[in-house]
Amino acid sequence: MIELVEDLDRARGRMAELRRAGLSIGFVPTMGALHDGHLSLIRRARAECDRAVVSIFVNPTQYDDPADLERYPRTLAADLEKAEAAGADLVIHPDAGALYRDGYRYRVHETEASRELEGAHRAGHFDGVLTVVLKLLNIVGADRAYFGEKDWQQLELVRGMAAAFFLGTQIVACPTVREPDGLAMSSRNIHLTPAERALAPELYRILASGAEPAEIARRLATAGFGVDYVERRGARLLAAVRLGKVRLIDNVEA
């Protein structure tokens, strides 16, 4: 039976008990509304560690649009069932007031990579992401934490933060999980209308075409997407587009 812990002091105590017992801990931070992408991370954590711990917390500090925060689906009961079936042993589900006892006065602010791509379009987003991830990593004290490659910029920033602050948790990258038609799995996909959902897989198809970024941006716009960016970073080609009220991101190896 999966264990649900909502009190942060209790969560810290349970993690300490696991470490005292000599058990390795794999950690998967999520905002809930779990899909197969999240579940693949949980399964890998369980395969590589003695215990798999999941957090479910819709983090308010990473949103610049209150309406977007309100739209995020809260499906705790279903999430617990899915997490348990994937092999999770414990779920941490904290209250925002407890996690931000300081009122968000103290935060992590990266000064370079967080200002571009997603950061250029979502003010303060990565401050909120990095701050909550640091808090959760400190609470859990996991041996490994698992992040999907779909959010490539986030993954790179978390890796950099873990190294900069000498965190003991290894950050593990996991491949993007896609629908059969190629669309990267995301909790936002449920907000797509049927017509938008039919068009959405074109993002991946065009992005993976091998064309140059400017040509990819042109093709996406012609197909009906609002294009925020298509840019190359090292060995990755990253894109963000809009379909109606939904913003989609994806990336492929360049």
| Strand-by-strand arrangement of the 226-233 sheet | 226-233, 236-243, 246-253
- Could you give the CA distance from residue 71 to residue 74 in angstroms, rounded to a whole number? 9
C-beta separation of 80 from 2 below 8 A? yes
- Could you give the CA distance from residue 191 to residue 52 in angstroms, rounded to a whole number? 30
Q: Which of 35, 38, 121, 191 is catalytic?
A: 38
Q: Is-catalytic flag, 38? A: yes
- Strands 90-92 and 144-148, by their bridges, are unpaired
C-beta separation of 53 from 92 below 8 A? yes
Instruction: List beta partners, residue 230.
Output: 239
Instruction: Tell me the catalytic residues.
Output: 38
